[in-house]
A and B are shown apart, each in its own frame.
Chain A
Amino acid sequence: MEKEKLVFLQEKAKKLRYDVIEMIGRFGVGHIGGCMSVMDALTAIYYDKGNMDAKDPKKQDRDRVVMSKGHAGPAMYAVLRDKGYFPEDWIGTLNKNGTNLPSHCDMNKTPGIDMTAGSLGQGISCAVGMAIAAKMDKNPATIYCFIGDGESDEGQVWEASMYAGSHKLDNLILLLDYNKMQLDGPVSVINELAPVADKWEAFNFYVQTVNGHDIEAICKAIDNAKANKGKPSMIVLDTIKGYGASFTEGVANCHSMAITEEMWTKETGRNA
């Protein structure tokens, strides 16, 4: 990747993280941790690898993004706002009465959201359905689906994965936000997911593990995934929950936390 492009993507991810901090900060509380950890991968998809257009948000052959870990809604909103899917000033409306930006992704409220999610384990099945339909219709769309490591406690994740592997849905790219923390504590303590790559390999996926904060590596993994035919892909994003903010990065209780005006203005250098 050209250095200039990489710098652009890195700067973009940083800006989008600030947008998330501001968005949640203006409401006062929210799922900051899991929004920060997926931002580099979202940037790779929306600003480099993906085929989607804010001017034609419903075009039939667009790539789909399903945020199965639906509580990362604010991360999606930061991207979609930056891309122009909805007005800039919606940033102050997150979770406020009558908003179009609810905690969890809602395809009927927010332009650019491809699937409603929030009850964990469900989005991945919907992504599998999209991949099946795309193949039926010879639609070239790639279906990207983000799942959480905590979310992978849900049996439905494995029902969907088993079918995708069994039916060789190579237009499906799963991205696991492997930040190793879930709401109540470390994944390893609550319900160990390791060995992660082995699990999805056993489910007949083409599995790659990358540093989830290395945008160049993520882009390369997406290229590899698209080139690898006959299997769905799993990109394990080795991430840090809350990455990119001093008060969240590696902090144990950052799944959902209160963010004061002082915290977000200091972190972003922006005015309230």
Chain B
Amino acid sequence: MKDELEMRKVFNDTLIELSKTNDKIVVIESDLQSCHLTNKFFGKEYPDRVVNVGIAEANMIGVAAGMSTMGKIPFALSFGPFATRRCFDQIFISVAYAKQNVKIVGSDPGVTAEANGGTHMPFEDMAIMRSIPTMICFEPTDAAQFKAALPQIVDHYGPVYIRMFRKQAEQVFCDECMKDFKLGKASKVKDGKDVTIFASGIMVSRAVEAAELLKAEGIDAAVSNMHTWKPIDEEAIEEAAKKTGAIVTAENHNVIGGLYSAVAEVVAKKCLVPVEAVGVNDEFGQVGKNAYLSEVYHLTTADIVAAAKKAVARK
């Protein structure tokens, strides 16, 4: 079932709510306000707290960093590739190295860029951002989780990258069950004893479906939502490795430098078990619908089922 609200609406609504008691929050855009609806909602409520620098992402990040030095909490938005790849050095130096409190939002993760195709389809944004010291890398799963996460992102002093799906997400969580949500702590979705699937973003609901299918085949799979790729929840990975003895990662992203890398780094260090990856295998994006692209890049529920079986067989 899809969420009632689009993720971009949740972003706007939550920032508006937080801004009632926090006048430091500002939104910086590079000519994509209409795509993030910050003209329609946040900008309507707080027109003096929005800066649109035009199509100039490098300048956007520098402006955000400069505003941060003056005490602001800037949220700088663009499509994923332009919010990260295009202005990597600006984020690295003017934001992170300079210890500025800038939140970067990259929209349309992976295959959800759909008809915008290869130029706009970030399979590498989290890998890029993960390589920056102090950067928190977060991909919200659904509306309830995004709503729970934003106040923590505002309260945390330091750079955060938010990988934001813009439209209605598949609902996984509810407001009540997100009461104990913590950035950096995996959100358990389902217990299981044979294999743990660590999934992120649009892959979480597919992992839930996969667990149902696996059950029919006698495999009891746990599902955990690894929404924060950095700092990664090492405890949850170690616990899963020890308890289930096999791990699958599921990401709408290149497996190189992505969630598979992040999880495997911990497994290698803490507790060696088989880790199978569902994700993009070092390829470029292309135009197409989500469902089609998910087949092309092997991101489907069936791919997760196959990976889980393989992981269990390798035990």
Indicate which residue in B49, B64, B97 contacts A136 across the interface (CB closer than 8 Å): B49
Indicate if the CB atoms of B59 and A156 lie closer than 8 Å.
Answer: yes
Q: Is the CB of B93 within 8 A of A130?
A: no
B93, closest chain A residue (CB): A119
Of the listed stretches A82-90, A110-118, A212-220, A258-266, name the one at the interface; the rest are far from the partner chain.
A110-118
The reply to whether B70 and A163 contact each other, CB–CB distance below 8 Å, is: no
Query: Given A115-B98, A128-B62, A163-B54, is A133 in contact with B71 using a C-beta cutoff of 8 Å?
Result: yes
Q: Chain A 119-141 against B: per-residue CB contact (8 Å), 1 yes, 0 no?
A: 10111111111111110110100
* CB-defined contacts of A127 to chain B, threshold 8 Å: 66
Is A196 interfacial (CB 8 A cutoff)?
A: no
Chain A interface extent, by class: 35 or more
CB distance from A144 to the nearest CB of B (A): 13
Determine how close the nearest CB of chain A comes to the CB of B170; give it in whole angstroms.
37
Residue in B26, B48, B63, B89 whose CB lies within 8 Å of A126: B63
A189 in the interface (beta carbon within 8 A) = no
Beta-carbon contact of A128 and B90 below 8 Å: no
CB within 8 Å for A116 and B94 given contacts A156-B62, A159-B58: yes
Q: Would you call A107 an interface residue if the criterion is a C-beta within 8 Å of the partner chain's C-beta atoms?
A: yes
Cβ of A133 and Cβ of B54 under 8 Å apart?
no
Min CB distance A15 to B, Å, is 30
Verify if B61 is at the interface (C-beta below 8 Å from A). yes
State whether B98 touches A118 (Cβ < 8 A).
no
Contacts of A51 in B (CB 8 A): none
B53 within 8 A of partner (CB) = yes
Q: Are A129 and B67 in contact (CB under 8 A)?
A: yes
Q: Report which of A64, A136, A160 forms a contact with B59, defined as CB distance below 8 A.
A: A160
Name the distance in Å between B70's Cβ and chain A's nearest Cβ: 4
B96 to chain A, nearest CB (A): 10
Instruction: Assess the B70–A125 pair: CB atoms within 8 A.
Output: no
**Which residue in A134, A136, A160 is a CB contact (below 8 Å) of B62?**
A160
B-contacting residues, A16-68, CB 8 Å: 60, 64, 66
Instruction: Tell yes or no: B69 within 8 A of A by CB.
Output: yes
- Let me know if B185 is at the binding interface, CB within 8 A: no
Give the contact-size bracket for chain B. Answer: 20 to 34
Q: Does B253 contact A (CB under 8 A)?
A: no
Q: Within 8 Å of chain A (Cβ to Cβ): is B99?
A: yes
Chain A residues whose CB sits within 8 angstroms of the CB of B56 once the complex forms: 159, 162-163
User: Smallest Cβ distance from A61 to chain B, in angstroms?
Assistant: 11
B98 partner residues in chain A, CB cutoff 8 A: 106-108, 115-116
From B62, B64, B68, B69, contact of A124 by CB (8 A): B62
Contact B49 A128 (CB under 8 A): no
Given contacts A107-B69, A132-B67, A134-B70, whether A126 and B97 have CB atoms under 8 Å apart is no
Q: Does B51 contact A (CB under 8 A)?
A: yes
What B residues does A106 contact at CB under 8 A?
98
Contact partner, B63, options A108, A115, A128, A139, Cβ 8 Å = A128
B169 at the interface (CB under 8 A from A): no
Q: Using an 8 Å CB-CB cutoff, how does the interface string of B111-130 with A read, 1 for contact, 0 for none?
A: 00000000000000000000
Note all chain A residues with C-beta closer than 8 A to B94.
115-116, 119, 122, 125-126
Q: Find out whether the CB atom of A129 lies under 8 angstroms from the CB atom of B65.
A: yes
Does A125 contact B66, Cβ atoms closer than 8 Å?
Answer: yes
B93 touches A136 (CB 8 A): no
Q: Which residues in A have their C-beta under 8 angstroms from that of B26?
A: 133, 136
- Given A108-B99, A119-B89, A159-B56, answer yes or no on A139-B62 (Cβ-Cβ < 8 Å): no
Contact partner of A115 (CB less than 8 A), chosen from B59, B61, B64, B69, is: B69
A106–B64 Cα gap in the complex (Å)?
Answer: 17
> Is B227 at the interface (CB under 8 A from chain A)?
no
CB distance from B295 to the nearest CB of A (A): 39
For residue A121, which residues in chain B have a CB less than 8 angstroms away from its CB? 58
Give the complex CA separation of A156 and B87 in angstroms.
10
Q: CB within 8 Å of A: which of B35-92?
A: 48-49, 51, 53-54, 56, 58-59, 61-72, 74, 89-90
Bound CA span A133–B56, Å? 18
Identify which of residues 1-46 in chain B touch chain A, using a CB-to-CB cut-off of 8 Å: 26
Q: How far is the CB of A163 from chain B (nearest CB, A)?
A: 5
Given contacts A107-B98, A160-B62, A163-B54, whether A122 and B67 have CB atoms under 8 Å apart is: no
Contacts of B54 in A (CB 8 A): 162-163
Q: In the assembled complex, how far is the CB of residue B180 from the closest CB belonging to chain A, in whole angstroms?
A: 34
For the complex, what is the distance from the CA of A121 to the CA of B49, rounded to whole Å?
Answer: 25
| 4 closest cross-chain pairs (CB), A and B | A125-B62, A129-B66, A126-B66, A133-B70
Give 16 A-B pairs besides A115-B65, A126-B69, A132-B63 with Cβ atoms closer than 8 angstroms. A107-B69, A107-B98, A107-B99, A108-B99, A116-B98, A124-B62, A125-B58, A125-B63, A128-B63, A129-B67, A130-B70, A133-B71, A133-B72, A136-B26, A137-B70, A163-B56
